[in-house]
Every structure is written in structure tokens, then in C-alpha cells.
Amino acid sequence: MDKIVSLAKRRGFVFQSSEIYGGLNGCWDFGPLGVELLNNIKQAWWQAMTYRDDVEGLDASILMHPKVWEASGHVENFTDPMVDCKQCKARYRVDLLFESLPKKSKKHIEDKIKVTLGADSAEVNEITINNYFSDNIDHFTADITCPTCGNTGTFTNARKFNLMFKTYMGAIESEDSIAYLRPETAQGIFVNYGNVKESTRQKLPFGIAQIGKAFRNEINTKNFLFRVREFEQMEMQYFVKPGSDDELYNEWKEHRIQWWVDLGIKRENLNFAPHPADKLAHYAKAAVDIEFKFPFGFGEIEGIHNRSDFDLSQHTKFSGKKLDYYDEQNKERFIPYVIETSAGATRGFMAFLCNAFDEDEAPTSEGKSEVRTVLHFHPKLAPIKCAVFPLVNKDGLQEISQNITSDLQKTFKVFYDDSGAVGRRYRRQDECGTPFCVTVDYDTLKDDTVTIRERDSMQQERIHKDKIKMYVLEKMSL
Ligand code: GAP
């Protein structure tokens, strides 16, 4: 992970937010290469999800009527229990605290829990112990040693902490002017269900897709971009007839995992993690996470949820507006169920970056080999699609290279580089994941051909300079 974070900064993928002021926890800035990669991920998702007959796009505002968050259950339920150390003020999310405890304190608590649960029971394992600890945290405050300051018995009882960022709209800060930064994009879709249905005349089943920022005041931010406070989601709500929901839930599950695979993530590095019935979110009838194998272990990158008719029913109740569907064929009226696919663009960015990172061997000009750092992005996602090099900076090779560059730039992102040995230039492009490098040499002067070198195989072939654009575009398509 350290190598990836350091490469991300060095090559301009990701910078810490407000770094010159010491940084802002849980917030990150996407640099010149990062913003390209992020845009390409979002574009690939938008294309896969909305360039079809049954899904419409939407871009709802981040600030919404405060009643939306009452109806959705976020004011009441979008909370994490947390405890504070009274001594050093460190704050911990209860479900994450157990893993952070000093060894001795952890063992002491484990032994206590084993006695309570019956040590011989087959059900007593690390997960049940951790769950018991989280559910009964207040019984353990006297036994916990603070992982930050090392004092024992200094933790407060657990308190509910709402993860929504609160602000005020207008000039007066009062209870009546409270607004929240949205913690998910989904609610913008639910409140526009009627508008989209009417304006597009879509029939069930149909979906509404949206990409946008979401904000959560996470207690513990961690692992680079994995858990942050400001991030982007790519969500789609598929409105279906009750009764068809189980089948469509399974279809979307398979469809969505295939998207990650098509963009270069090996199937064995992805995992379905179904939510057990007693851990389902307040709105869900069924839920499964798509997990990616990060360097620190499997972690969720997308959730597929069967949200039943919870959201449309709640918004009907709170707004007084009917959000139902009339099935003309069967002459029946009902509130649709919703299958949701909710992927993180920010977390997805991190997954694609980790997936692409590699250190392999490359030949040097002296016939030896050296370690090269390379990002194996799918050409569709790569920030720069093609680099163009003149072999030498004389005899008109620069002019030809610049002309090729400006022609290709009309279609995709290209990088022109005329400094240093060609081998060094390859290495610099490998590090930022550029799939193709074109070299203009003396043969180009004779027959208009160039060398095109592919990043992963490092194989080179000769093609006519007018064919470069088609060559790259073909590799970019899925
Ligand atoms: N509308 C449903 C919903 O928001 P979620 O499982 O809370 O479901 C969906 O979030 C996705 O959003 C996650 O799979 C993850 O990719 C991303 N996500 C959620 N919280 C995040 C955070 N704090 N930082 C980065 N990404 C996050």
C-alpha cells in the first residue's frame, strides 16, 4: 500500500487535501493523472449503465429538502456508535475498536467474553467475540486500555454519532434552516422517480442512474481513499414490479460484477459478500457487497441492494405525493420495488489503482534487465492513452511527432515527450499506465510508419502513422 500511495502522489494521481496546511483528514484531491482516471471510470460506468433503453440519467442537487433525510431514515438511523477516551480525547468507532486494542487488553476482554458465551460453544469465534464486544461495549469500559494513550478505564459509554454533515441554508442559523450534505446520491433519484417516469414515459422495469458527490462524517477514516469523508458514488435504482425483484436482484448482481471484470479486475480478486439477515440496513430486503482484494484484505467496492418499496413508500408518506405505478396491462396500481446498484467511484479508483500496480522486469539498452514499476490499466481507463516520442531531436522528427500528437489530441489524451533516452521515456509512461508509446524515427521520413509499443507485453510493431488513432481506439473499446 505504501508504494502505491507514494506513486499516486509522485506521479500526480492523488494529493492530500489542503496539504500545505497539514492536510485535512478524510479528504483527497485528484491530480492531473488522477482526474483523468476518475473521469474515465465514471464515463465507463455511465456508458455501461445508461446507454441502454431501460435506464435514464439524472444529476440531482447535493442539498435537498431536510424532510428527505427524515423520510429516508438517515436522521434516525444513519449513526455509528462511538466511544471517546476521556484522557487523550481519541475517538473510536465501536465496531473497529476491538481490533485496535493492545494485545493484553484484547486478551483480557476475549477471555471474559468467552466465559459469558461459553468457551466450548462452537459458535464462539473471532467474529462472535467482536460482535459481542460491540453490542455490549458499555460493560467493558472499565477493562479497555486506550490504544492511543495506554490508559485503562478512561472510555466513555457509547454514544450515537450521526454521519451526516449538517449545515444551514440562508442567513439565519436555526432549527428551521438545517440542511444536510447528502450522504448518498440515491435519495435524489427516489424524489425524482415521478418526474423521470412522466417525462420519459418509461414502463417498468426501468432504472435511473446518477454519479455524484456524497459526504459522510466518518469517525475513523482509513486506508487512503477507502473510507473518506467526501467521495463520489455511481448509483442506479432499478424500479421493478414486486414479485420480479428477486430475479432482477440476481441479474444485476451478475451484471455488475462483470463490469469490474471487463475493466481488468481478475474475478478471483473479487468476491460476493452477502449481508446476513440480522445485519441488513434499515431499508433492505437483501443485500450483497462486491468486494475487491486490496493489499490490506477484501473490502467492499459496490453494494447491490433489494430496497423493497421502502423508499418510495416513505417519500409518499412524508411528502403526501403519490409515488406509485399504474400497470395498464393488468389494471393494477402498486408501489414499485427497487433494486439498487451502488458503486464507489472513489473507492473504485483505489481498486483499479491497486489492481493495476505491478513491479516486473524490463530489458535495458545494455541488454540487462531492470525492475520497472508499471500500472496495467485497461486502455479505456488509462489516464493517457498514447505517448509520442521523436527518436532524436533533429532532422524534422520533432515536427512530425508534434503533428501526430496534435492530431491524436482531438480524440484522446496524448503525451509528447522528447527528453532523455527512449528507454527512460518508456519507464515514465509505464509508471502512469500509458498503454501505447509511438516512436518517430528515420524510417518515418521514408515511409510514414512509426513504432508502436504496447505497455504490458513491451512488444513493438510498425504501423502507418495514419492508423495510430484507430489502433488505439480499438484497444480502448471493451
Ligand atoms: N445508497 C446505498 C449506499 O450508499 P453504501 O454501501 O453505504 O450504500 C455504497 O455505499 C458505496 O459507496 C460503497 O460500496 C463504497 O464504494 C462507497 N462508499 C461508502 N462510504 C464511503 C466512504 N466513506 N468513503 C469512500 N467510499 C464510500
- CA nearest ligand 1 atom 20, residue: 227
- Check if 186 has its Cβ closer than 6 Å to any atom of ligand 1: yes
Domains of the chain (ranges; CATH) run 2-66+183-353 (3.30.930.10), 79-162 (3.30.40), 384-476 (3.40.50.800)
- Check residue 124 and give its pLDDT: 74
Angle of CA points 298, 304, 308, to nearest 5°: 145
Answer whether 390's CB lies under 8 Å from 418's CB. Answer: yes
**340 Cα–ligand 1 center, Å:** 12
Mean pLDDT of 463-478: 93
| Greatest mean pLDDT among 100-104, 367-371, 434-438 | 434-438
pLDDT at 4 over 80: yes
Confidence of residue 132 (pLDDT cuts 50, 70, 90): confident
Across all residues in the chain, what is the average pLDDT?
93
- Check residue 58 and give its pLDDT: 98
Closest to 70 measured CA to CA, from 341, 287, 309, 282: 282
Q: In whole angstroms, how far apart are CA 19 and each of 16, 223, 454?
A: 5, 17, 36
- Check residue 121 and give its pLDDT: 66
pTM above 0.85, yes or no: yes
Span 219-275, pLDDT tens digits: 878 789 999 999 999 999 999 999 999 999 999 999 999 999 999 999 999 999 999
Q: Which residue from 219, 229, 252, 300 has its CB within 8 A of the most atoms of ligand 1, so it is best to mutate?
A: 300
Please state whether the peptide bond connecting residue 205 to the residue before it is cis, i.e. omega within 30 degrees of 0.
yes
Confidence of residue 120 (pLDDT cuts 50, 70, 90): low
- Check if 346 has its Cβ closer than 6 Å to any atom of ligand 1: yes
